[in-house]
A and B are shown apart, each in its own frame.
Chain A
Amino acid sequence: MFEFEPGLMIWTTVSFGLLVLLLYKMALPPILAFLATREKQIADALAESEASRKEAAELLAEQKKQLAEINRKAEQIVAEAKTEGRKTMDEIVQQANQEAKRLVDKGEAELEQKKTELLAEARQEIANLVVEVSSKIIKRRLTAADNQRLINEALENERN
């Protein structure tokens, strides 16, 4: 059971006061110093961390900027390549069309030339054949009387 004892209470109070005093004098300064150091370390760490974060943010921003620039340049290169490719393709198509037209024209001209030559050749052959065959027939069938009649008619025409 609890009994109130004034002597014990006084001694206990004195002891506690001495302990507090002792702690205040002996332990408090190093604790405060430790806490101050620790506070400073934390503040430094926080400041360093903030600087790092800021630097990282700047770096990230710089990288984003560079990436954007690269993307822009890449897009520009692709666009230029597309334009150049389209232009080259158009040129190739145009050249191919021109070459095809030239070949067709040349072919048509050659065909026309060949046709003309063949026609002239055929005409020449027909003409030669007609003359040859006619000559043979006339040579065989033209009598002296026929010849004389031709001569008489010719001389009559010449005199008139």
Chain B
Amino acid sequence: MKEIDLKELYRLTKKEAGELENDLHTFAGQMLGLVELRFMLKDSAIKQSQKNELIAELMPKSSKYFPALIRLLIAEELINKLPGLAKQFSALISKETGQQYLEISSARELSAETKKTLLRTYGDKQRLRFIVKPNLLGGIRLKWEDGRFFDATVSGELEALKEAILV
């Protein structure tokens, strides 16, 4: 069975591993949210160039190694394993650096000032991973690797409202 050597990937991307980790999780989130995207990436009738264009459109500010890695995953028919690979890659980085991650999800790209604030507040003890999830609608969500959770998103509030209606 074909596998991606994550250690080799980490060795290659060492300096940019954090950025690649962000991109992998962001794209995995988009794949999980869009069934059509999963089908399109798997569809052999769609040309690779068209798939590249689509990825570029979805991830305009991706890191250096991200497009090549996605192309490889598509070619090796491993693209559906991307969410799992992203988690494994995060775990590997945590192990190698001794730093746990803090996943910061927001509906839109965070401003540079907010990112600075977050880095100042949390960046010394853990590495930060910024993820854009449009379905959060607004606000911010912090998720630590050890399972702690802080949800201040609009979608979280709506879910709470839904629960309140159902009880």
Interface residues of A (CB under 8 A from B): 120, 123-124, 126-128, 130-131, 134-135, 138-139, 142, 144, 146-148, 150-155, 157-159
Contact = CB atoms under 8 A, between A and B. Distances in A.
Contacts of A152: 114
A127 to B, nearest CB: 4
Contacts of A142: 137-138, 154
Interface residues on B, range: 20 to 34
B114 A148 contact: yes
Interface of B: 106-108, 110-111, 114, 117-118, 121, 137-140, 142, 150, 152, 154-155, 158-159, 161-162, 165-166
Contact of B154 (A128, A138, A144, A155): A138
Given A127-B166, A142-B154, A151 B159 contact: no
Contacts of A139: 137
A158 B108 contact: no
A138 B138 contact: yes
A151 B140 contact: yes
Given A138-B137, A151-B139, A155-B118, 9 more contacts: A127-B166, A128-B162, A131-B161, A131-B162, A134-B158, A151-B106, A154-B139, A157-B152, A159-B121
